[in-house]
């Protein structure tokens, strides 16, 4: 039997297992009538309520809590719904999934999708977005050799978001490089553009030509490495999740600066959700020099662990393939290639991770696992 007791700022409701407290403003704000039935947006304005808002009357009627407010408004809450909130089981989110770590042997197991199938089959896009949430990396094969092919693929997940270098970027050898990616030199493991206030979320790299000698792609699940760091060097891990380090990107037209955590934690489930790692775009660490005594060992340990062959997936991208990956979770790099030995051309762009999760929620609801 549920009982309800009105207090000054809220009410106490007993469930079979426990008694829970609910604040009056929270209850009134989340009355079923607060929402527009078409847009699902809140139309109720809690700011208009009196400071001493309270329920005048409360009773439990056939599985519902019924409240009558000072102004006569009535609210009805399902007890099961209230119990979920009191237990900390909030609005279920199918996009909060447990990430699956992977290691150097992942190439043969990597999720692969066919471009034409994705374009024609939203159920396959649901599978694709799920693999990006779980493993953070996938390969799409069979892209047309055109700029439109990449754009159309991105649009299956969301809107292409610009970075300070524009909506798309091209990676090939340049005579006058302003960024290391535009040369034939090896490219250290990094995540893209941590100097941006919101570093790009999902990265698409469409391989248009690759017949140069060398230039293998290097990918690392930095989450798997960070989890290992947490287990073996908890103090290093803690520091890298707590300090926002400076990053900077400068060209003749840009001076972009931001501070980021080197290891990011997912607020939804406490997992490592990503990293910001780029030695070539790191600013000068500007903490007290005593902090450097702890920061450099932590930074070097983490960076070296990422280079460990146990974690490093090395492979060759082929023309017509697009590697799609979580730019926060997956660090990437490139072995050097022999300039003049052949052509190498990748075209890339980004979509935010929020769009990936949104697309997944919508498509998975429509196409449950296994459904076509
Ligand atoms: Fe990059």
Tens digit of each residue's pLDDT (9 = 90 or more) over 140-192: 999 999 999 999 999 999 999 999 878 999 987 654 556 666 666 778 999 99
Residue 372: both structure tokens together = 């076509």
Q: How far is the CA of 334 from the centre of ligand 1 (A)?
A: 9
What is the distance in A from the centroid of ligand 1 to the CA of 67?
56
Calculate how far, in angstroms, residue 347's C-alpha sits from the geometric centre of ligand 1. Answer: 11
C-alpha 166 – ligand 1 centre gap (Å):
15
Determine the distance separating the centroid of ligand 1 and the alpha carbon of 96, expressed in angstroms. Answer: 26
What is the distance in A from the centroid of ligand 1 to the CA of 193? 8
Measured in Å, residue 185 CA sits from the centre of ligand 1 at: 13
Instruction: Give the residue among 276, 278, 273 at the shortest CA–CA distance from 224.
Output: 273
Q: Where are the alpha helices (DSSP H) in the chain?
A: 24-29, 79-86, 115-120, 122-134, 147-155, 222-232, 234-242, 289-307, 353-366
Q: What pLDDT was estimated at residue 53?
A: 97
CATH superfamily of 104-366: Clavaminate synthase-like (3.60.130.10)
Higher model confidence: residue 66 or residue 343? 66
Ligand 1: distance of its center to the CA of 187 in Å? 8
CA of 219 to the centre of ligand 1 (A): 10
Ligand 1 centroid–CA 321 distance in Å is 17
> How many A from CA of 176 to the centre of ligand 1?
18
Q: Return the minimum-mean-pLDDT range out of 160-174, 211-225, 227-241, 307-321.
A: 160-174
Q: Measured in angstroms, how far is the CA atom of residue 323 from the centroid of ligand 1?
A: 12
Q: Are 113 and 142 in contact (CB under 8 A)?
A: no
- 327 CA → ligand 1 middle, Å: 9
Distance from residue 205's CA to the centre of ligand 1 (Å): 9
Q: Tell me, what's the pLDDT at 133?
A: 98
Token pair of 23, please? 């604040």
Q: How many A from CA of 208 to the centre of ligand 1?
A: 16
pLDDT band at 67 (very low <50, low <70, confident <90, very high): very high
Q: Where are the domains of the chain?
A: 4-86, 104-366
- For ligand 1, the distance from its centroid to the CA atom of residue 139, given in whole angstroms, is 16
User: Tokens 């050799």 correspond to what residue?
Assistant: 145
User: From residue 267, how far is each of 84, 96, 353 by CA, in Å?
Assistant: 19, 10, 14
* pLDDT number for residue 302: 98
Average pLDDT, integer, range 205-231: 93
β-strand 322-326 against 272-275: which pairing, if any? unpaired
If you measure from the C-alpha of residue 80 to the centroid of ligand 1, how many angstroms do you get, rounded to a whole number? 48
Burial code (b: 16+ CB inside 10 Å, e: under 16) for 322-357 equals: bbbbbbbbbbbbbeebeeeeeebebbbbbbbbebbb
Specify the pLDDT at position 175: 43
Beta-carbon-side half-sphere exposure of residue 209 (alpha carbons within 13 Å): 12
Q: 188 CA distance to ligand 1 centroid (A)? A: 9
Q: Read off φ and ψ for residue 235, nearest 5 degrees.
A: -70, -40
Name the strand (E) or helix (H) holding 104.
Answer: none
CATH class of 4-86: alpha beta
Taking the centre of ligand 1 as the mean of its atom positions, its distance from the CA of residue 217, in whole angstroms, is: 11
Q: Ligand 1: distance of its center to the CA of 326 in Å?
A: 12
Ligand 1 geometric centre to CA of 223 (Å): 17
- CA 269, CA 272: separation in Å to the nearest integer? 9
* Distances, alpha carbon 227 to alpha carbons 144, 185, 232, 234, 236, in Å: 38, 30, 9, 10, 11
What's the pTM?
0.90
Residue 337 CA to ligand 1 center (angstroms) comes to 16
pLDDT value at 372 more than 80: no
Cα of 191 vs centre of ligand 1, distance in Å, is 6
Cα–ligand 1 centroid distance for 278 (angstroms): 9
User: How far away, in angstroms, is 2 Cα from ligand 1 center?
Assistant: 58
Summarised one tens digit per residue, pLDDT across range 19-29 is 999 999 999 99
């Amino acid at each position: 039997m549920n009982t309800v007791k009105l207090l000054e700022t809220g009410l106490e409701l007993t469930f079979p297992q426990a008694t829970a407290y609910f604040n009056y403003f929270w209850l009134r704000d989340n009355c079923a009538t607060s929402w527009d039935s078409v847009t699902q947006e809140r139309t109720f304005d809690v700011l208009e309520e009196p400071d001493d808002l309270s329920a005048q009357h409360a009773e439990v009627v056939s599985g519902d809590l019924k409240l009558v407010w000072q102004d006569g408004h009535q609210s009805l809450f399902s007890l099961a719904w209230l119990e979920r909130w009191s237990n900390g089981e909030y609005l279920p989110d199918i996009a909060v999934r447990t990430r699956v770590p992977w290691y150097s042997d992942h190439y043969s197991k990597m999720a692969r999708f066919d471009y034409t199938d994705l374009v024609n089959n939203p159920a396959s896009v649901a599978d694709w977005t799920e693999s990006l949430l779980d493993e953070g990396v996938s390969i799409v094969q069979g892209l047309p050799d055109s700029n439109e092919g990449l754009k159309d693929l991105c649009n299956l997940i969301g809107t292409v978001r610009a970075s300070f270098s524009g909506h798309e970027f091209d990676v090939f050898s340049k005579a006058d490089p302003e960024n290391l990616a535009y040369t034939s030199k090896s490219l250290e493991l990094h995540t893209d553009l941590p100097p941006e206030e919101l570093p790009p979320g999902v990265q698409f790299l469409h391989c248009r030509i690759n017949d140069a000698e060398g230039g293998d792609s290097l990918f690392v699940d930095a989450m798997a490495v960070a989890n290992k760091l947490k287990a073996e060097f908890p103090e290093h891990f803690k520091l890298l999740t707590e300090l926002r380090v400076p990053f900077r990107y400068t060209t003749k037209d840009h001076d972009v600066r931001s501070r980021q955590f080197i290891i990011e934690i997912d607020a939804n489930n406490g997992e490592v959700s990503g990293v910001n790692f780029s030695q070539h775009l790191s600013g000068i660490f500007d903490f007290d020099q005593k902090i450097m005594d702890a920061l450099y060992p932590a930074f070097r340990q983490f960076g070296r662990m990422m280079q460990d062959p146990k974690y490093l997936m090395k492979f060759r991208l082929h023309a017509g393939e697009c590697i799609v990956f979580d730019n926060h979770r997956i660090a990437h790099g490139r072995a050097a290639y022999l300039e003049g030995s052949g052509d190498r051309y990748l075209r890339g762009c980004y979509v935010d991770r929020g769009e990936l999760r949104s697309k997944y929620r919508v498509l998975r609801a429509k196409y449950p696992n296994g459904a076509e």
